[in-house]
Amino acid sequence: MIGERARLSGALSRLRAQMALLTPAQQRAAAYTLEHPREVVYQTVTELAEASGTGVATVMRLCRDIGFGGFQEFKLALAADLAGAPSSPDALPSGTPESLIAQAARACAQALEETGKVLDPRELERALNALADAPFILLTGQGASGVTALDFAYKLLRLGLNAAATVDPHLAAMRAAVLPRGSVTVGITRSGSTIDTVHVLREARQSGAFVVAITHRARSPVTEYADCTLHTASPEDPLGGGAVASKVGQLLVLEALYTGLATRVPGAQDAVRTTAAAVVDKSY
């Protein structure tokens, strides 16, 4: 029941995240909803179709394509979004140190909140089960997502798990091609369409590994090879690659995985103490 309530939210986040992947007609319906969310929550599917200049079938496909069972489920999620939204966001002056801090904090807080809404607890559980039993875990990503993969490999090592992050695309593909049975590959890509990451996950799938994709896009090439997809909600324009608000969404997903593994992997707490002791003399 808790997982179902968590899933029935994030309607606005999903519309913003997947806008570029929608058909032109779906984009009109999505744009109208983003501009008039408080009106849409009271409209019928026919009224929304007429208001956005589309058709009922287009609206229904839009709801399904962004991850809802239908229009009513979408409206429940939209209502949940509106119930938690401030009626009038505080206007902050731009450029002052105070406003810069506040704007950055607000962007990160929004990314965390919206990722929490779109992250499916059932998919998280599937990923945890696979990771806990894996003989080897390969993490991969490019650019800023590669940095995130390196960070998660470090945390998994602290738990005593056999994990490695490979950001070189050639080396990652070769590793993925020879993974032992039962291994897990985690691909991190905000766009879901990073060619090298998609290639690595395809190789991992062919080698029999369980594939986890962490991405901002529900409909993207990387999900075609994923056994499990963990979604983030971290808006980022093409010029904002590596923005901290985008990264914190990924970090929330990985922190949930780390915390879950820490409680279910035998000997994890002993490993944390052992690895901490191994580097204790590296600090003054």
Instruction: Pick the closest to residue 67 from 28, 21, 25, 109 (CA basis).
Output: 21
* pLDDT in single tens digits along all 284 residues of the chain: 334 444 567 899 999 989 988 999 999 999 999 999 988 988 878 889 999 999 989 999 999 999 898 888 898 889 888 876 544 344 444 578 888 888 888 888 888 888 998 899 999 999 999 999 999 999 999 998 999 999 999 999 999 999 999 999 999 999 999 999 999 999 998 878 788 999 999 999 999 999 999 988 776 788 889 999 999 986 553 334 556 777 898 999 999 999 999 999 999 999 999 998 998 888 77
End-to-end CA distance of the chain: 49
Amino acid 99: pLDDT: 86
The phi, psi pair for 228, rounded to 5°, reads -150, 130
pLDDT at 85: 55
Global pTM reads 0.71
Task: Write the CA distances from 104 to 110, 116, 148, 216, 244, integer angstroms.
Answer: 10, 18, 19, 20, 8
**Strands 210-215 and 137-141, sheet pairing:** unpaired
Give me the helix-helix angle, 144-158 and 268-278, nearest 10°: 100
Tell me if 154 sits within 8 A of 135, measured CB to CB: no
Q: What is the DSSP string of the chain?
A: -HHHHHHS--HHHHHHHHGGGS-HHHHHHHHHHHH-HHHHTT--HHHHHHHTT--HHHHHHHHHHTT-SSHHHHHHHHHHHHHTS-SSPPP--SSSHHHHHHHHHHHHHHHHHHHHHHS-HHHHHHHHHHHHH-S-EEEEE-THHHHHHHHHHHHHHHTT--EEE--SHHHHHHHHHTPPTT-EEEEE-SSS--HHHHHHHHHHHHTT-EEEEEES-SSSGGGGG-SEEEE------TT-TT-HHHHHHHHHHHHHHHHHHHHHSTTHHHHHHHHHHHTGGG--
* Domain residue spans of the chain: 2-83, 121-278
CATH architecture of 2-83: Orthogonal Bundle (1.10)
| Rounded distance between C-alpha atoms, residue 192 and residue 168, angstroms | 18
CATH of 121-278, one of 2.60.40.790, 3.40.50.970, 3.30.390.30, 3.40.50.10490: 3.40.50.10490
